[in-house]
Amino acid sequence: MNNQPDADDLKKRINKFSDDTINKKNKDARGNVSFGFRIGIEIVSAIAVGVAIGILVDKYLQTKPFGLIIFFILGSMAGFLNVYRVMRRIEKDSNSNKNG
C-alpha cells in the first residue's frame, strides 16, 4: 500500500499551479496596461477639448492666441483633475479591500 502520489499526479498538480500563476500575472499585466491607457486618454481628451474650445473662442472673438492659451491651460488642469480623481478612487478601493 503506497500512499505517495504517483509522478503523473504530481506533474499535473505542478502544471495546474504554474498555469494559474501565469494566468494571474497576465491578468494583472492587462489590467495595468488598460489603466495606463485610461489615464492617457483622460489627459489627452481633456487637453483636446480645451484646445478646440480655445480655437473656437479665438475664431469668433478674434482674440488670437489668448483663447487658445487660456483654454489649453484649463483643459490641462481638467485632465489632471480627472486623473487625480481616478487615482483617489482606486486608492480608496484598494484600502477597503485590504481592510476587509
State if pTM tops 0.85.
no
Please check whether residue 100 lies inside any domain of the structure: no
Host domain of residue 76: 41-94
Please check whether residue 55 lies inside any domain of the structure: yes
- Higher pLDDT among residues 74 and 23, named by residue: 74
Which band of pLDDT confidence, cut at 50, 70 and 90, is reported for residue 16?
confident
Please check whether residue 77 lies inside any domain of the structure: yes
- Helix ranges (H only) for the chain are 7-61, 66-99
Contact 22, 48 (CB under 8 A): no
pLDDT for residue 20 is more than 90: no
Contacts of 33 (CB under 8 A, 6+ apart): none
Instruction: Domain count for the chain, please give it.
Output: 1
Please check whether residue 16 lies inside any domain of the structure: no
Cα–Cα dist 78/95, whole Å: 26
State the DSSP code for 1: -
38-66 pLDDT, tens per residue?
Answer: 999 999 999 999 999 999 999 999 999 99
